[in-house]
Amino acid sequence: MTAVYCGYCGKGLEEVDHAACTKRLRVIDPPRFCSACARRMVVQVTPSGWTATCSRHGEISSSA
Amino acid sequence: MTAAPEQVDVLGVAREQVLERGVGLSEEQVLAVLSLDDDRIPELLELAHQVRMRWCGPEVEVEGIVSLKTGGCPEDCHFCSQSGQFPSPVRSAWLDIPGLVRAARQTRDTGATEFCIVAAVRGPDKRLLSQVRDGIKAIREDGNDIQIACSLGMLTQEQVDELVEMGVHRYNHNLETARSHFPNVVTTHSWEERWDTLKMVREAGMEVCCGGIIGMGETLEQRAEFAVQLAALEPDEVPLNFLIPNPGTPYENYPVVEGTEALKTVGAFRLALPRTILRFAGGRELTFGDLGAKQGMLGGVNAIIVGNYLTNLGRPAQEDLDMLEELSMPIKELSKTL
């Protein structure tokens, strides 16, 4: 699956600068938007990981 | 001509009042600590650490938390990405019982003695309480005897009694900020409503966990006000969070609290609350980075949330456990909490 959208803000990767998004995703945030279609995902954070589910593209997780 | 009044050094006073006698600082004194020059931070943290060692001991209480019900909250807490009133990207989610059992197991395996089940609600309804009851039962059937805390919003007396009966030993309900600042942060319920829940929790025999978030536009005076209001509650635990400016919330563009300011807050809160479990909670990753977390642990903090938070991620648990080992701070054992 090719990443087209930012997992943090949901905007196109080519559209704006995502340096701040990248930092948030690296330090304290799981992805909230599907990188393929920018749909908001259902995210469950647990003590040791997270899962994020897109209704169109399925589940990704911290262990993947 | 009259002589200028002699300046009283608040840390000198605190050494005698807090360290020797165990009497927390007053609002005025806390404000003086928060107003100290940055070059006095090492001295403040050293004193706060001595206070913690003298009145709490060397052990660190480790806790894990999990969100049982995420998002869709009807309240408008301006810091919270789980409010249904703001355009936050956080979507509603329910954790199922097997997921809750796994989360409790992961927490126990870190050596933690506390596992807090949290829901983003105004207060629990029958469905939520039933899920909590089933979850606790399943955790016990999994052979996990970790102590269970809950954070389910405002409670009725009947709900307090039900949680006691389920074996919940501690209840978290944060006052979040000073009473004078609260109406700027939340408009859908009052500080006093939260206080009422905390009183019921205490009277029912559960331990009280009550803290808040630093960096929500409060003044230093309000920060000092908050510290003494917490002290008046006499909570068993105070979780200290630093604002994570989450997208979509009214506070999304607020600045992250500066590390030096945060360290002064940690030290000041310890001097206001000499006997309380003071826990590092959310936001420390952004505010402090790795080095500051260590400084905080040597500056009065004696408890820590390991792993992830509710919607944000924390440092990997092992990094914090390694830090505690490096600092020669023993983790509180379950046998000592029962």
> Across the interface, do B308 and A10 touch by the CB < 8 Å criterion?
no
CA distance B320 to B147: 20
Question: Which residues neighbour B205 within 8 Å (Cβ) at sequence distance 6 or greater?
Answer: B164
**Contact state of B64 with A33 under an 8 Å Cβ cutoff:** no
Nearest to B249 by CA among B83, B35, B37, B25: B83
Give the H or E element holding residue B143: none
Higher pLDDT, B75 or A27: B75
A11 touches chain B (CB under 8 A): no
Q: Note the pLDDT of residue B338.
A: 47
Task: List the one residue out of B301, B275, B224 whose CA is nearest residue B18.
Answer: B275
Position B280 scores a pLDDT of 92
Exposure of A56 by Cβ count < 10 A (0-12 exposed, 13-18 middle, 19+ buried)? exposed
Q: Give the domain B42-336 fold.
A: TIM Barrel (3.20.20)
CA–CA separation, B112 and B202 (whole Å): 23
User: Which pLDDT score, from 0 to 100, does residue B152 have?
Assistant: 98
The answer, for A28 touching chain B at a CB cutoff of 8 Å, is: yes
Task: Identify residue B312 by its one-letter amino acid code.
Answer: N
pLDDT in tens, chain B (338 residues): 555 555 789 999 999 999 999 999 999 999 999 999 999 999 999 999 999 999 999 999 999 999 999 999 999 999 999 999 999 999 999 999 999 999 999 999 999 999 999 999 999 999 999 999 999 999 999 999 999 999 999 999 999 999 999 999 999 999 999 999 999 999 999 999 999 999 999 999 999 999 999 999 999 999 999 999 999 999 999 999 999 999 999 999 999 999 999 999 999 999 999 999 999 999 998 898 766 688 899 999 999 999 999 999 998 899 999 999 999 999 998 766 54
Strands (E) across chain B are located at: 61-70, 93-94, 114-119, 147-151, 170-172, 207-209, 212-214, 237-242, 277-280, 303-305
Please list every residue in chain B whose beta carbon sits closer than 8 Å to the beta carbon of residue A46. 66, 95, 99, 102-103, 106, 308
The alpha carbon dihedral of B299, B300, B304, B308 has a sign of negative
Whether the model clears a pTM of 0.90, i.e. scores above it, the answer is: yes
Residue B303, chain A, CB below 8 Å: the answer is no
**Domain-by-domain residue ranges, chain B?**
42-336
Residue of B nearest to A54 (CA): B91
Closest approach of chain B CAs to the CA of A28, in angstroms?
4
Describe the strand order of the beta sheet including A42-46 as a list of residue ranges.
A42-46, A49-54, A58-61
What letter does residue B139 receive in the DSSP assignment? H
| Residue-averaged pLDDT of chain A | 94
B187: amino acid identity, one letter: T
In this complex, the residue of A28, A30, A41 whose CB is nearest that of residue B244 is A28
For residues B95 and B118, what is the distance between their CA atoms, to the nearest angstrom?
11
Using the beta-carbon criterion (under 8 Å), do B314 and A28 form an inter-chain contact? Answer: yes
Q: Does A6 have pLDDT greater than 80?
A: yes
d(CA B201, CA B155): 9
Q: What is the pLDDT of residue B164?
A: 98
Rounded distance between C-alpha atoms, residue B281 and residue B214, angstroms? 11
Instruction: Give me the total of CB pairs closer than 8 Å, taking one residue from chain A and one from chain B.
Output: 70
Distance from CA of B307 to the nearest CA of A (A): 5
Residues from chain B contacting residue A28 (CB–CB below 8 Å): 244, 285-286, 312-314
Residue of B184, B2, B318 whose CA lies nearest to A47: B318
CA gap B15, B264 in Å, rounded: 16
Q: Which residues of chain B are within 8 Å of residue A10 when distances are taken between CB atoms?
A: 89
The size of chain B, in residues, is: 338
pLDDT reported for residue B337: 55
| B101 and B138 Cβ atoms separated by less than 8 Å | yes
- Both tokens of B160, joined, read 């307090």
